[in-house]
Chain A
Amino acid sequence: MSAQPHPLAAPPRVALWHNPKLRSLVYQLAALALILWVGVEFALNAKANLEAQKIATGFGFLENTAGFGVNQSLIDYREADSYGRVFLVGLLNTLLVAALGIVFATVIGFAVGIARLSSNFMVSRLAGAYVEVIRNQPLLFQILFWYLAVLGALPGPRQSIGLGLQPAVQGLADLFASLQRFGVPAVVADVTRLGADWIGPPSIYLNNRGMVLPEPVVHAGSGLVLAAALAGLAVLIAVRFWAKRRQAATGQQFPLLAAGLLLVIGLPLVVFLALGAPLGFERPVLRGFNFASGIRVIPELVALLIALSTYTAAFIAEIVRAGIAAVPRGQSEAAAALGLRRGRALRLIVIPQAMRVIVPPLTSQYLNLTKNSSLAVGIGYPDLFAVFAGTALNQTGQAIEILGITMAVYLVISLLTSAAMNLYNARVTMRGR
């Protein structure tokens, strides 16, 4: 018998400082303490320096009167409101442009990404050209391009371009008039022109101060229309649930699209008409320097939105293409073998599998878009960065507090976006069956 210990017996006792678990714990604690110490030292030092230079500190400024105007505000804002309110105005403006941008970028991005895979030479090359041209230009340049070169070139308020039904019908009348020498009777043009006059002046105007839309005038009872729409939506969700279960059980399909249209559009429309159309639109009227009534969409928002969504869409298109390409060919072939048409195969087989690849990088694009929206400062769109970390910072001089708040806000927005996307990702990941 040998005196060798059994290999599986308890290991020999080692000194405490040689214990790997304890060691790594000590190292990690030391690193944490170092980071905390540096942080505390920075904070104390900053406080001492600011006090020595008698620069105001603290968050009391948020209650002070701001005293400056802001171009676009989703909530009621006046010059006499506080810096705290300015913060809210800026935050909402950032959220507005980010939310709209994400929607548009996703729609354009998916369309272009799928188009790039099209077997039609023209379509796929056009989509490819879009991606390469847009993706490879600096974003700030694109924002300035849309703002100065495109929107800046529009005429002034008094020469506004009218949009809508009336200009279209008027254009048609002009066309008929010019076709007279080809035998189109003059009465056609005249009747069309009468039609244009009957429609009245255009309700949407475009000029270098932005776009003016008709303002909705809400009469009593319009709440019922909204309630009908919401009720329709609730019923639709229930029907969809029932239809899915029935299809799983019996294989019978239910015309969900038609039911959906009926419930969400039809039902409120019936209520709307039954109540005698309780919602009207007030046409914008030109008075003084600009349109006095109507909803104004400032050109800064339009330029920023177009630039952000087209730019991000170029990246999303590539992500979508990669995602679809990642689904093995066998999957679509199997779908075809089962007799699924191309559209259905794409919707039921390819896209759900592609989503697993698409969603994580898509999240980063959403985050990029949100953060890139701070380039608004280049064209004077009043987002959080421009009005709060810009104007408010300058008027109060409290750089540390304001930058701290701004950083925290962008962090929170990004983390929330990530969390929502992770939740969605968890839903679309393939589960082992």
Chain B
Amino acid sequence: MQRAVFLLVAALAMTAQAAVAQTLKTVKERGTLICGVSQGLPGFSNPDDKGNWTGLDVDLCRAIAAAIFNDPSKVKFTGLSAKDRFTALQSGEIDVLSRNSTWTLSRDSSLGLNFAGVNYYDGQGFMVRKALKVNSALELNGASVCTQTGTTTELNLADYFRAHKMKYEVTAFATADETVKAYDSGRCDVFTTDVSQLYAEKLKLANQNDHVILPEIISKEPLGPVVRHGDDQWLDIVKWTLFAMINAEELGISQKTLDEAMKSEKPDVRRFVGTEGNYGEQLGLTKDWAVRIVRHVGNYGESFDRNVGAGSRLGIARGLNNLWNNGGIQYAPPIR
């Protein structure tokens, strides 16, 4: 809410020049990137007890900072609820939003925002207590459902129950924590959100093993970073930072193999590391922008494994998020 009011004031008081913003310049002058993330979602953006943020979405912010400053620590993270996230971006409070947000037409158009790509292909699912002995989402007629307000989840839920002519009662909370707490306290039979989030939030429940995630995936949820309309250069930088991470994995360039790659004779690797061409400079960055990203953050696969994949507590399979040549749909345009 305070963010909505902030937007109101900002929109009223902004000079018209702000519309042709130069985000890169602003970020460089400030010396830090301000990145909007969740208020704590394991695997995607979660602060540890020392206040260090980790996660797939956080890595993307660090990669952008690495590309600009050659220093992944020059990021200030702002935790945002689903309700506040877009207003924070519209009002200029944050430079980029990397907060498990679903790419939809209306967000891309009428909210005045641009999605820069997809860093996680997700879908919506349901979690219930095992004691209810429910095996399918189609058995949920009459159930009480907890969800977070201001999400596509809320709309998909309504669509799904309407399409299957089932009744339900929805209680929508402002933050993810309130939602999980209400579900855990028994206010609702069902907790619904993106499947990746179900896995993450399950870790927070009192008795993890008493809950089961139903097999149905009821929606497409392509999650990705978002920027404001009106600054194409900044959109390109965010977009290509993500593409660089995906391309790095495809080219086999990782934190371990980076030094070899620098000496590689392969033309596409040479273009990636900047020994050939001036692709980074075309973006407004330096020639070694992609090297900085991989050195400090790693490629997409490394980030995935470390945060949500096999190497993490969540243990989510790559599935759709595998590279296109490996059975998934993660695909990045070439750097040339």
Contact = CB atoms under 8 A, between A and B. Distances in A.
Interface stretch (A167-175, A267-275, A383-391): A383-391
Given A45-B14, A55-B112, A292-B142, A67 B1 contact: no
Contacts of B83: 390-391, 394
B185 A152 contact: yes
A56 B86 CA distance: 14
Interface stretch (B3-11, B116-124, B254-262): B3-11
B187 A46 contact: no
Contact of A71 (B18, B155, B171, B181): B171
A61 to B, nearest CB: 8
B277 interface: no
Nearest to A155: B186
Contacts of B8: 399-400, 403
List the 3 closest pairs (A to B, CB-CB), nearest first. A394-B150, A52-B19, A55-B112
Interface stretch (A27-35, A282-290, A336-344): A282-290
B82 interface: yes
Interface in B1-44: 1, 4-5, 7-8, 11-16, 18-20
Contacts of A400: 7-8, 11
A288 B18 contact: no
A299 interface: yes
Contacts of A197: none
A50 to B, nearest CB: 6
Contact of B174 (A50, A54, A70, A378): A378
B229 interface: yes
Contacts of B210: none
Interface stretch (B156-164, B211-219, B282-290, B304-312): B156-164
Nearest to A64: B106
Contact of B158 (A42, A69, A390): A69
A55 B87 CA distance: 11
B202 interface: no
A300 B8 CA distance: 30
A68 B169 CA distance: 11
Contact of A289 (B20, B150, B159, B189): B189
Interface string A373-398: 00001111010011001110111111
Given A68-B155, A69-B158, A389 B1 contact: yes
Contact of B162 (A46, A50, A80, A298): A80
B143 interface: yes
A148 B149 contact: no
A208 interface: yes
B168 interface: yes
A49 B14 contact: yes
A290 B13 contact: no
A379 B178 CA distance: 8
Contacts of A289: 132, 140, 142-144, 189
A190 interface: no
Nearest to B20: A52
Interface residues of B, number: 57
A156 interface: yes
A55 B110 contact: yes
Contact of A54 (B87, B109, B149): B109
B271 interface: no
B230 A52 contact: yes
Interface centre among A377, A396, A398 (most CB of B within 10 A): A377
A287 to B, nearest CB: 7
Interface string A337-381: 000000000000000000000000000000000000000011110
Given A380-B182, A390-B150, A403-B5, 7 more contacts: A53-B228, A208-B185, A289-B142, A377-B174, A378-B178, A394-B86, A400-B8
A212 to B, nearest CB: 12
Nearest to A55: B112
A397 B110 contact: yes
B171 A53 contact: no
A156 to B, nearest CB: 5
A209 interface: yes
A67 B187 CA distance: 23
B90 interface: yes
A24 B108 CA distance: 53
15 contacts: A43-B12, A45-B13, A49-B19, A52-B16, A52-B19, A53-B230, A55-B90, A69-B161, A69-B169, A209-B187, A380-B171, A391-B154, A394-B83, A399-B8, A403-B5
Contact of B4 (A50, A386, A403): A403
B158 A391 contact: no
A389 B4 contact: yes
Contact of A148 (B7, B144, B181): B181
A182 B87 CA distance: 72
B141 interface: yes
A397 B143 contact: no
B331 interface: no
Nearest to A79: B158
Contacts of A396: 106, 110
A48 interface: yes
B19 A397 contact: no
A48 B187 contact: no
B112 A50 contact: yes
Nearest to B139: A288
Given A156-B186, A380-B182, A390-B150, A55 B155 contact: no
Interface in B165-189: 168-174, 178, 181-182, 185-187, 189
B170 A70 contact: yes
B149 A42 contact: no
B162 A290 contact: no
B19 A53 contact: yes
A11 B154 CA distance: 76
B107 to A, nearest CB: 8
Interface string A57-72: 0000000000111110
Contacts of B4: 389, 393, 399, 403
Nearest to A67: B155
A70 B178 CA distance: 17
B11 to A, nearest CB: 5
A298 B229 CA distance: 41
A68 B154 contact: yes
Contacts of A48: 16, 19
B82 A394 contact: yes
Interface string B318-329: 000000000000
A394 B149 contact: yes
A390 B174 contact: yes
Contacts of B317: none
Contacts of A79: 158-159, 162
B86 A290 contact: no
Given A50-B11, A52-B19, A399-B87, A69 B170 contact: yes
